[in-house]
Amino acid sequence: MAAPTSTHGEPGGEPQREEHSGQNLLALIIEKKTGLPFADAMQRLVFQPFGMRDSGVDDDRPLKGQVAHGYQPTGTFGLKPAPAFHWSAKPGNGSAYTTVGDEWKWLQAIARGPLLSESSRKAMLETDNGFGWVRSKKQGPRLGQAVLISNGRAPGFSAILEYLPQDDLAVIVLTNIEHDANPIIIPELTAMIMGKPYQPFDYRPVPRALVGEPAGEFTFGADFYRRNATLKLVSDAKGTTLYWPGGPEDPLLPIGRDKFMDRYYWSPVTVERGPDGTPVALDFSNFRGIRHNQESK
């Protein structure tokens, strides 16, 4: 499992374990009730009535029109095509495709249209952790009103929607790069739109000679995003990369001597060296991993 998107900005918090089988079951129920494949049922029941002409469910049939190809980060600045993936394996929990314009139509149908009863709308939009939404505990006070967030990622793609019901304002980011930077970017983008103070990201190239070439395997504790995980740090011609057990391959963007911003989860990474210059610890956000050959000392 990847580091959780909804708590990744709050290191030290209890990691969330997402369970998507309920959406798979719902898709199956819809197929049984309508007698249609899930993709066709969604067209009839949701996309067509809402006027979402550029949306659908990818069931591995050819898609009409222009579509984005998915990519993943590689090396310090590079991209590579995402591995082939059969989206028909994800009915109900991530197989939909859309555009920003269509996403707005869907949101209006949920938040203000006739799709839901008032009690259902209240249950969906006015709870701390509702049906596909998380009420932001940081962004809400920052903007002085409720802020609802829905996000996710899949091979080659990532997306996030931040909605302010009071102003009926939505900020939607759809990207064809698989990473977890959007939840970091969108709060600043929304603050900018709302005329609030925001923190820009200002990157300046760092000479490789200054960065260093740290390497080693570092084991984290039971409270880490992946319990007791060992992460491997490699420096080579591509740059410095952090390898998670089972993936992803996480390129690091250098910002100083032994200091990086990882390109996948968009969290700060710092290498600590011992008196002899050898890396002894790795800080990932607020978590610390200890190098293997240091644990017995």
Tell me, yes or no, whether 242 and 256 share the same domain: yes
Task: Give the per-residue pLDDT at 272.
Answer: 96
Q: Which two tokens stand for residue 58?
A: 């990818």
Mode of pairing for the β-strands spanning 287-291 and 134-135: unpaired
* Measured distance CA(125)–CA(22) in Å, rounded: 20
Tell me, yes or no, whether 101 and 175 share the same domain: yes
Q: DSSP H helical segments within the chain, as ranges?
A: 21-34, 38-42, 100-111, 118-125, 139-143, 182-193, 208-211, 292-295
Q: Which of 163, 178, 30, 8 is nearest to 93 (CA)?
A: 30
Task: Give the per-residue pLDDT at 159.
Answer: 92
Q: Please check the confidence at residue 6 and state whether its pLDDT lies above 70.
A: no
The better pLDDT of the pair 297, 18 is held by 18
Q: Please check the confidence at residue 276 and state whether its pLDDT lies above 50.
A: yes
Which of the residue ranges 62-66, 114-118, 134-138, 231-235 has the most confident prediction, judged by mean pLDDT? 231-235
Q: Please check the confidence at residue 252 and state whether its pLDDT lies above 90.
A: yes
Q: Please check the confidence at residue 290 and state whether its pLDDT lies above 90.
A: yes
Evaluate whether residue 11 is within a structural domain: no
Tell me, yes or no, whether 169 and 103 share the same domain: yes
Tell me, yes or no, whether 78 and 188 share the same domain: yes
CA angle 179, 180, 182 (to 5 degrees): 105
Tell me, yes or no, whether 187 and 272 share the same domain: no
Model confidence pLDDT, tens digit, residues 152-167: 888 899 999 999 999 9
Task: Give the per-residue pLDDT at 5.
Answer: 38
Average pLDDT for 75-99: 89
Spell out the residues 6+ positions from residue 74 whose beta carbon is closer than 8 angstroms to its own: 80, 238, 249, 251
Tell me, yes or no, whether 40 and 128 share the same domain: no
CB 134 within 8 A of CB 148: yes
Q: Please check the confidence at residue 10 and state whether its pLDDT lies above 80.
A: no
Tell me, yes or no, whether 151 and 172 share the same domain: yes
Evaluate whether residue 38 is within a structural domain: yes
Please tell me the total count of domains within the chain. 3
* Measured distance CA(263)–CA(252) in Å, rounded: 6
Question: pTM higher than 0.85, yes or no?
Answer: no
Tell me, yes or no, whether 148 and 265 share the same domain: no
Model confidence pLDDT, tens digit, residues 236-251: 988 899 999 988 889 9
Task: Give the per-residue pLDDT at 130.
Answer: 62
- Range(s) of the domain holding residue 39: 23-50
CATH of the domain at 229: 2.40.128.50
* Measured distance CA(18)–CA(90) in Å, rounded: 14
The better pLDDT of the pair 118, 12 is held by 118
Task: Give the per-residue pLDDT at 69.
Answer: 92
Using pLDDT thresholds of 50, 70 and 90, give the confidence band for residue 171.
very high
Model confidence pLDDT, tens digit, residues 198-236: 988 888 888 888 888 899 999 999 999 999 999 999 999
**Host H or E run for residue 135:** strand 134-135
Evaluate whether residue 9 is within a structural domain: no
Q: Please check the confidence at residue 3 and state whether its pLDDT lies above 60.
A: no
Task: Give the per-residue pLDDT at 11.
Answer: 38
Residue at which a domain ends, from 202, 221, 252 = 202
CATH of the domain at 149: 3.40.710.10
Tell me the C-alpha to C-alpha distance, in Å, between residue 230 and each of 46, 119, 246, 254, 296. Answer: 44, 46, 11, 21, 16
